[in-house]
Structure 1
Amino acid sequence: MADQSIRVEKSQSRKAKPDSNNLVFGRNFTDHMFVMDYTEGIGWHDPSIVPYQKLSLEPSSMIFHYGQSVFEGLKAFRTQDGDVQLFRPEKNIQRLNNSNERLVIPPIDEELGLEAIRQLVEIDKDWVPDAEGTSLYIRPFIISTEPYLGVSPSHHYKFIVIMSPVGSYYKEGINPVKIAVEDKYVRTVEGGTGEAKTGGNYAASLKAQEIVEKEGFSQVLWLDGVERKYIEEVGSMNVFFKISGEVVTPMLNGSILAGITRDSVIQLLKHWNVPVSERRVSMQEIYDAHQNGNLEEAFGSGTAAVISPIGELYWEGKHLVINEGKTGELSKKVYDTITGIQYGKLEDPLNWTLKVEKSSVNN
């Protein structure tokens, strides 16, 4: 690391902020962004907070050709007291470096990465909306920028953080969704890049998503890419099932992303003494549990929705309606607790939040 002091250049022209009650995900961006460069032989250098602006890259930049990139997603929340806080941001930075390792990208200094996010949010804290259920979405990402068409790891990268105010995921209340079990396409395989948060995984999911949406389903339930029988993720979320009082979720096996919300759900359940296990879960097991009346709830977990209840699964021509298509008691409790902690409405017994306070940056 050549230089760990963050240079700050304030924008001279501020944008008009969108209406907090009519926010569209990922369409409006704050006044500033964080940028840091990597050069082989120097390391990560020149960390800066600058006005939000376009990037200038060579057409031959390796990101456009081989997809060597990683990203993260987290949020800043405005509490009832008007404070701004982050939810487990250190976990996002740690996961970013895990993704870096898989994509052969040099790791970033985790303390610097966290401080960059904290300072950026502090500078643009007026962009954190205060309407019910809204937040400031934070997108850190790294791209390979070397102008070279050879297939190899890049020698140059950019680490960038941009932010966007976003609305409530559930504008009309938390409602269960219908999910189709995918039997043709796969998201990734063990030994692939499934455990990394990289763009290629999401590009690979688009075809199946497009097909099931036309058939009236919200998302797909991904099965493993080898035997096509074990459950992995639901859409771009981790997935949980409550069977006979026990909550089970697919274990991390190298092809499943280690979600921060997933980990939060598991920790909360253990805190409440609710039985929870991480293991292989087959679709046949879920079908049998449904037939026996033991499948009590199912839900996805992720940054955007926090908890997304599953009201129906469609598998091999069979419709499996779960909990009469209603949101389960445990799903609702988990959702209310995590969002309550995020917005400062509930106590934080597991020390998950980080307050964004005034920093001594160079203006």
Structure 2
Amino acid sequence: MATAFGTVFMPEMAITWFDGTNWTPAEMVPSDRLTLHPGAHVLHYSSTCFEGLKAFRHEDGSVNIFRMDKNLARMAQSSRLLALPELDLTLAASMIKQTVARFADAVPAPPGSLYIRPTYIGTEAAIGKAASPSLASCFYVLVSPVGDYFAGGDRALRLLLEENGMRCAPHMGMIKSGGNYASALQPILKANQEVQADQVLFCPNGDVQETGAANFLLIDGNEIITKDLDESFLHGVTRDSILTLARDLGMTVSERKLSVAELLERAAKPECEAALSGTAAVLTPVGTLIHQGKEYPIGNGGIGQTVLKLRQALNDIQWGKAPDTHGWLERI
């Protein structure tokens, strides 16, 4: 029986602590425990953010991390918006590379990879600071070898369109924080139970935004349409990568508001496709939209060829099978 994605961890992780003034030297420690005071800020007031990125093994045996700089820049943004102590990005990058290098032999060959989870939390023991930031913090790097995300069979997802609720508070949208995922969990579970939806596509007041854990892309012929960046939703690194490659392929990329009405109208076209973008699956095809009790197939309701082409284009760069013309890979 295959293990679930992200449930196998390497035995050690890199860690550093900030006491309000200085960072401790980074060290490798066992990855099966983390000692915190029960009053730690993160446990009570959710001062936490994280990233998800991957390292890939190429045919020459080298191990390469994909877009670490972009992920760390987003993590710095998350930590600032959470009022955590400023993250030392040079130290963080060094810890990620150190951890990947230590477990380089465990990086799977394609279609597998090493999933990297840098995590940053507030650790000050102060339960009276509900309206104040943590002055102390901890940064650590977990790594997990993962296999083919689609090993169980690639299929087109079913999405419920939710026009009343939001994934998270609008001013929290750009933060990759656990609380945002927690706030989307109940709507997703309800949609799964009631209409067998795989995910909820949050569209507050008819504005198509994102699902609980991924960005949404609509493909109409040679055009990709996705919401323009603002503070209400997560600025996905995979989203950015896919849009860049789409432009390279001569596609028209439209980052703008997309209404539910326009989405349903375009979905009826035979050539229409849709997908969710994220680190784990790169691009996951979407085949059905559920709105006000009615189901709407997207195009033919199956897996679109443009989705597969864009996913393959990104995978080929990640696995060293195509030139890295944008400088996205860092060799370890």
TM-score bracket for the superposition, by shorter chain length: over 0.9
Displacement of 1:294 after TM fit? 7.0
Partner of 1:301: 277
CA contact (8 A) 1:24 1:167 kept: no
Letter of the 1:80 partner, please give it: E
Q: Is the 8 A contact 2:16 2:23 kept in 1?
A: yes
Partner of 1:3: none
1:19-58 map, 5 Å: 22-40=2-20, 42-58=21-37
Corresponding letter in the other structure for 2:224: V
**Residues 143-189 of structure 1, C-alpha deviation per residue, up to 9 Å, x if partnerless?**
11111112210111000111111121101443211111124432124
1:229 to 203, 206, 220: 206
Moved over 6 A (4+): none
Is 1:269 the equivalent of 2:246? yes
Rounded Cα–Cα distance in structure 2 between residues aligned with 1:330 and 1:44: 47
SS of 1:323's equivalent in the other structure is coil
**2:313 & 2:104 partners in 1: Cα distance?**
24
Equivalent residues in 2 for 1:129-208 (5 A)?
Answer: 129-130=108-109, 132-150=110-128, 151=130, 152-190=132-170, 192-208=171-187
Q: What is the RMSD of the two structures over their aligned residues, measured on CA atoms?
A: 1.7
**C-alpha separation in 2, matches of 1:32 and 1:299:** 35
2:220 corresponds to: 243
2:326 pairs with 1:346: no
Q: CA deviation at 1:55?
A: 1.4
Confirm or deny: 8 A CA contact 1:36 1:47 kept in the other structure. yes
Q: Counterpart of 1:272 in structure 2: which amino acid?
A: L
**Sequence identity of aligned pairs in percent?**
35
Cα distance in 2, alignment partners of residues 125 and 244 from structure 1: 41
Contact 1:31/1:124 (8 A) holds in 2: no
Per-residue CA deviations over 1:270-312 (Å, capped at 9, x if unaligned) read: 1122100111111111112234x27611111000110011101
TM-score by length of 2: 0.94
**CA–CA distance in structure 2, aligned partners of residues 136 and 96 of structure 1:** 19
CA contact 2:40–2:124 (8 Å) conserved in 1: yes
Name whichever of 135-144 and 22-31 sits farther off. Answer: 22-31
Q: Determine helix, strand or coil for the equivalent of 1:101.
A: helix
Larger helix share, 1 or 2? 2
1:127-158 per-position Cα deviation (integer Å, ceiling 9, x unaligned): 2123x421111111111111111221011100
Q: Which runs of 5+ in 1 are unaligned?
A: 1-20, 357-363
**Could you tell me how far apart the structure 1 residues matched to 2:182 and 2:209 are?**
17
